[in-house]
Chain A
Amino acid sequence: MSLDKKIKKSQSEWMKGKGPMGDVVISTRLRLARNLADFPFPGRAEPGDLKEVRNRVEKVLEKLNYGLKILDLKEIPQLERKTLVERHLMSMNHAEDGPEKVLAVDEFEMISIMINEEDHMRIQVLFPGMQLEDGLRLINEIDDAIEEELVIAFNEKFGYLTSCPTNVGTGLRASVMVHLPGLKLAGRLGQTLQLISRLGMVVRGMYGEGSESQGDIFQISNQVTLGASEGETVENMVGIISKVVEQERQARQYLLKNREDEIRDQVQRAYGLLSHAYRMNTEEALGLLSDLKLGIELDLIKEVEPSILSQLMVLIRPAMLQRIMGQELESGLRDVKRAELIRKKLSGGESHVR
């Protein structure tokens, strides 16, 4: 198989499409924690219990109309399991060896269900861009269909009962991944993030060591699962995130108006390095990709597809890279292969016309 084909095969649906507010919002994820009423939670269950849970859940999932493929994780090599984590289909925790762990996933990699993680079921949906309401609709529909067949742990006072007290209640965690290079360059990032966190959201970001300039990608998620309904949780988040998006857009326009030469230079340098460097580690790549994406959204660069950041932020991860390259790579060689992959992607391995 050619490298092009391997790259194409490694992309989930959400990485390719530009969703609503796709200039700022990379993706939306929702997940529900659910347990069967008659069994101890996985952390305290015997292997026999876990097997029974697995059988019951699998039987139900097979009947659903979502085309879910059921993967017995025991049968899947460690490296391949890590690629499932890097594609955001399951948790790192679930990739570790353990009894009766299963992942069910649909062909678009939009729906995934972990069996026997921390809870018996973790149901997840993943969309490009800002799609909290649609996400809630779909995940509710899946949850209802499952609940038709299984008795779920629930009580009136606390709602859905989960292994960890931080999930009890709705069991819903909604996360929106945003790209905020404009706010950072305009010096308004800290203040915005502080504000979001005061509004009951958890904000997490990741930077390269010693610098704040890498990735500019943040996850905003709801903190509480008790006291607000699913609808209220999502509605509240939609309000907050729309504000963040608006702020980011304003910051970008401000930069273009007042610091155009500087921004143009930064963006084109990033494009140059990404297109020609021979070696590149993940951190550097993410920082440059962030600049490049800003350039695309400001129309300073026209020949690269806007989804480049969503795609490459996953494809350049260690396990994904090794899978695409079809070989195990030690970290020095990985940097060389990572640069090769990025060059390939930018040189028109596929059509890039907007």
Chain B
Amino acid sequence: MLCQECKEKKATVHVTSIINGKKTELYLCEECAQKKGEWGFAAEPLSLHNFISGFLGGLEPGIKPKTELPGISRCEKCGLTFEEFAQKGRFGCQECYEAFSSQLPAILKKVHGREEYRGKIPRRTGGVLRKKREIEDLRKAMEKSVKEEDFEKAAEIRDKIRELEKELEG
């Protein structure tokens, strides 16, 4: 049997992937298996970009991807078009996330099941978000103090919140 990926070498590897309960089977040569990252862990979980392309109509023959939708056309910084993104499943630069932002939440929700970021915040570029989260935490602490009738502490926290809010506006 020939490798289903390169269709040149003999398939020596039988790969079974299970994602969300769906099983896919592949017969690959050693090299392609490694390339696909099915061996060892040099790899990503099954790439979803084909799926994204399919979602956007990029791969279906005869069907043009919907690049004419308002608000999505081309990233001005790197020049990537939405069509190219749909085909390759890769962004060109960080500005692409802005350029295609009208379509992204739907795509990311399909990929991840959720669309809201909840992870770590870098100190440099994440300053605003860091402050917002801090304010959120302080608000909770303030409510707690009020409930415990520790008004002095609540007032202290309120001042801190105001300070942070000022910094945010400035």
* Chain A residues engaging chain B, CB cutoff 8 angstroms: 27, 29, 35, 37, 39-41, 43-44, 85-86, 88, 90-93, 118, 140, 143-144, 147-148, 151-170, 172-173, 175, 177, 193-194, 197-198, 200, 202-211, 219, 221, 223-230, 232, 282-283, 314, 318
Contact = CB atoms under 8 A, between A and B. Distances in A.
A4 B34 CA distance: 28
B117 A226 contact: yes
Contacts of A147: 122-124
Given A209-B1, A227-B113, A173 B124 contact: no
Contact of B120 (A39, A230, A282, A318): A230
Interface residues of B, number: 64
A91 B33 CA distance: 12
Interface stretch (B37-45, B64-72, B160-168): B37-45
A229 B45 CA distance: 18
A206 B16 CA distance: 7
A227 B114 contact: yes
B59 interface: no
Contacts of A169: 112, 117, 119
Query: Which DSSP category, helix, strand, loop or mixed, fits chain A's interface?
Result: mixed
Interface in B105-137: 107-108, 111-126, 128-129, 132
A208 B1 CA distance: 13
Contacts of B128: 156
Contact of B44 (A39, A173, A177): A173
A86 B11 CA distance: 19
Given A159-B117, A175-B41, 8 more contacts: A40-B77, A164-B91, A169-B117, A198-B20, A206-B15, A209-B27, A225-B119, A226-B114
A197 B49 CA distance: 19
B117 A209 contact: no
B19 interface: yes
A43 B92 contact: yes
A148 B122 CA distance: 9
Given A90-B42, A92-B37, A164 B89 contact: yes
B97 interface: yes
Interface centre among B11, B94, B108, B128 (most CB of A within 10 A): B94
Contact of B45 (A43, A172, A204, A211): A204
SS of B interface (majority): loop
A148 to B, nearest CB: 8
B112 A227 contact: yes
A30 B54 CA distance: 29
B140 to A, nearest CB: 17
A229 B124 contact: no
B115 to A, nearest CB: 6
30 contacts: A27-B41, A41-B94, A85-B40, A85-B42, A91-B43, A147-B123, A153-B125, A156-B117, A160-B122, A163-B91, A164-B44, A164-B91, A168-B108, A197-B21, A198-B20, A202-B17, A202-B19, A204-B15, A204-B17, A206-B14, A209-B11, A219-B41, A223-B20, A223-B45, A225-B112, A226-B116, A227-B116, A227-B118, A229-B119, A230-B120
Interface string B19-37: 1110000010010011101
Nearest to A204: B17
B42 A228 contact: no
A92 B34 contact: yes
Contacts of A223: 19-20, 45, 112
B46 interface: yes
A107 B78 CA distance: 38
Contact of A177 (B41, B107, B116, B129): B41
